[in-house]
Structure 1
Amino acid sequence: MVEDVEFTSYYGRPIVKAPPWGDEIGTYLFLGGLAGGSSLLGFGAQLTDRPGLRIASRMTAIAATGIGGAALVADLGRPERFLNMMRVVKVSSPMSLGTWILSGFGVGSGVTFAIELDRITGEKLLPLGPLRKVLHAMETPAAVESAFFATPLAAYTAVLLGATAVPTWNAAGRNGLPYVFVSSASMAAGGAAMALAPVAETGPARLLALAGTAGEAYAMSAMRKRMHPAEIDPLDDGEPGHKLHRAEKLLIAGAVGAAAVEVGARVFAKKLGGGWKTRAVLRGLSVVSGAALAAASAYTRFGVLEAGIESTKDPRHVVEPQRARLEERRARGITDDSITTGR
């Protein structure tokens, strides 16, 4: 009998070097998605005349952009490194494109934030003078520009992770991680709006959140089915696994709560006359459900980030999938395109 194979590497060092990314990058992954989804909600609220939802979404978008950008710069170590990446546009580099996506998004979000701040303060805080009309005239173009970059902002980080040699990230990126991240962003943005905006105006936010929960659950399941077991293990084990399991539980709880608020807002509020008790119950449930959905999105991002880092520590996560892909190519008769696929 042959003993079980024990995967090792030279001098006991990992085959793939783990990226030096910590909580700053996890924070940026989450807040980037939140900002993108909130911008889309804010634009929709503007078009449908929902001022409460519009203000909450735009404030969330600019806050998430600012904090997320600060976390990204903190990870880079020196602020000028971010500016250096803007010297060129490299289409083949997700990091280069991501820098321009974040910058373009930030401009539109900043303009809409300034407009909302000017409105909230009664046009007294910002000393704009004759430029006030110019600023407010830019509202729709700025909202369109921000919405244009919103989806790429939510998705490009998944492409960036998938472009690395980190086993779990690379496999996830090939098999649907961008869909997971876009769905997660929708869930986070819808949840944040549910918690911050009036219940009467958050119908679109609830629908976006429910669509995001369904999309994340399906995309995550489909992604796992297409990955090798050794690439999936880091998503299930240790602290990354705990985070992703918490995300699943919060996702379910938040979705149930959002559905209950939607039914309550459409049916029970009308039947009961919309009394203060009914409004208070719906408001409380909306806040709790929205917070649960946003937390689920955060756990998903941090879980995926940490799972990738863990996958670099065990050579098995690198070797087993490679051997499986090699055998699959040989089974299809591909044996003459390189030395490694020949017998």
Structure 2
Amino acid sequence: MVPDVEFTSYYGRPVVKASPWEADIPAYLFLGGVAAGSSLLAAGADLSGRASLRRGGRLAALAAISGSLYALVHDLGRPERFLNMLRVAKPTSPMSVGTWILTAYGPMAGAAGAAELRGLLPARLGPLPLGWASGLLGALARPTGIAAALIAPAVASYTAVLLTDTATPSWHEAHRELPFVFVGSAAAASGGLGLITASSADSGPARRLAAGGVLLELVAERRMERSMGITAEPLHTGTAGRLMRAATACTVAGTVGAVVSALLPGRRGRLASAASGVALLAGSACTRFAVFEAGQASARDPKYTVVPQRERLDRRRAAGSG
């Protein structure tokens, strides 16, 4: 009897090099999604007169995009490297396109968030009156908030394209569904944050956005895993597997809690909403870190590069012979 062939490679070395990215990058992915979803929520709340949801969304978007940019620049090592990417605009490069998306989104989200803080401005700074600054921020609040919301879908999804455009097996093979997973995850996280910051009377849109995001994320995730073939294995093993299981548990618990909180009166409802929001945020963060860790693990094991290549070659041969 011939024994089963065990996959190996030359000296057991990886075929592709694992990304040099570290924990800054999944944090950047997560915070960018939170910022994008929060801008969408804030714009809708502004147009529908939900003051607490608008305020929380704008401030959350400002804080999240600031944290996301910090994580990106920290990973780059020097701030001027980010600025250097603005010297060109290359439509075929997800990194170049993403840089310009962030450059367009950041000032809009920043201005809308700053408008919510204009009450903290002093009336005067020495001999200089500052009333005009407060008035200008107030006038710009709605236009910049709507502009940020229009750019937000690109902010939430381009990071998935950034990952799948690499040669890392588990990222590349997920190129069809990963943008939908990230958008759903961003909606769930920002909806959860809205449940924390908004009053009970204003939290309805946040609850609906979270529920829709969870549905999109879970459905897209299942489709993604089926389409990835063998490269889906790293999502279920090691660190990535633990993070993915935690993501699913937190996301489902947060969704159930959000529904229950709508039925509870007063303080109990607010506490349940806040707990649900924390769970949804944790689930979204775990999803981003799980996808990141799975990609790194797939690059270190050569079978996730070679086996899909052989399968594609076999399909081409079968199609040619047919």
Given the two structures, how large is their TM-score scaled by the length of structure 1?
A: 0.89
Query: What is the match of residue 227 of structure 1?
Result: 228
The 5 Å alignment of 1:74-89 reads 74-89=74-89
Structure 2: unaligned runs, 5 residues or longer: none
Question: How far 1:188 sits from its partner (Å)?
Answer: 0.2
Task: Give RMSD over aligned pairs.
Answer: 1.6
Q: Identify the match of residue 168 of structure 2 among 166, 169, 183.
A: 166
Residues in 1 aligned to 2:148 and 2:89: alpha-carbon distance in whole angstroms: 19
Residues in 2 aligned to 1:125 and 1:196: alpha-carbon distance in whole angstroms: 31
Query: What is the match of residue 138 of structure 1?
Result: 140
Query: What is the match of residue 330 of structure 1?
Result: 317
Q: Identify the match of residue 286 of structure 1 among 259, 269, 273.
A: 273
Residues in 1 aligned to 2:278 and 2:40: alpha-carbon distance in whole angstroms: 19
Query: What is the match of residue 341 of structure 1?
Result: none
Cα contact 1:42–1:58 (8 A) shared by 2: yes
Runs ≥4 in structure 1, deviation > 6 angstroms? none
Structure 1: unaligned runs, 5 residues or longer: 269-277, 336-343
Query: Residue 289 and residue 47 in structure 1: after superposition, are their counterparts in 2 closer, same or farther (change >3 A)?
Result: same
Cα contact 1:53–1:198 (8 A) shared by 2: yes
Question: How far 1:8 sits from its partner (Å)?
Answer: 3.0
Matched to 1:239, the amino acid is T
Q: Identity of counterpart residues, as a percentage?
A: 49
Q: Identify the match of residue 284 of structure 2 among 294, 297, 309.
A: 297
Query: What is the match of residue 214 of structure 1?
Result: 215
Query: Residue 334 and residue 304 in structure 1: after superposition, are their counterparts in 2 closer, same or farther (change >3 A)?
Result: farther
Residues in 1 aligned to 2:122 and 2:211: alpha-carbon distance in whole angstroms: 37
Question: How far 1:196 sits from its partner (Å)?
Answer: 1.7
Matched to 1:143, the amino acid is G
- Which secondary structure state, in structure 2, belongs to the residue aligned with residue 152 of structure 1? helix
Query: What is the match of residue 103 of structure 1?
Result: 103
Cα contact 2:12–2:302 (8 A) shared by 1: no
Deviations, residues 99-127 of structure 1 (Å, cap 9, x unaligned): 111111110011111110014x3764886
The 5 Å alignment of 1:9-158 reads 9-119=9-119, 121=120, 124=123, 128-158=130-160
Cα contact 1:118–1:125 (8 A) shared by 2: no
- Which secondary structure state, in structure 2, belongs to the residue aligned with residue 18 of structure 1? coil
Cα contact 1:55–1:116 (8 A) shared by 2: yes
Query: Residue 112 and residue 124 in structure 1: after superposition, are their counterparts in 2 closer, same or farther (change >3 A)?
Result: farther
Cα contact 1:118–1:124 (8 A) shared by 2: no
Query: What is the match of residue 244 of structure 2?
Result: 244
Matched to 1:283, the amino acid is R
Residues in 2 aligned to 1:93 and 1:67: alpha-carbon distance in whole angstroms: 23
Query: Residue 51 and residue 315 in structure 1: after superposition, are their counterparts in 2 closer, same or farther (change >3 A)?
Result: same
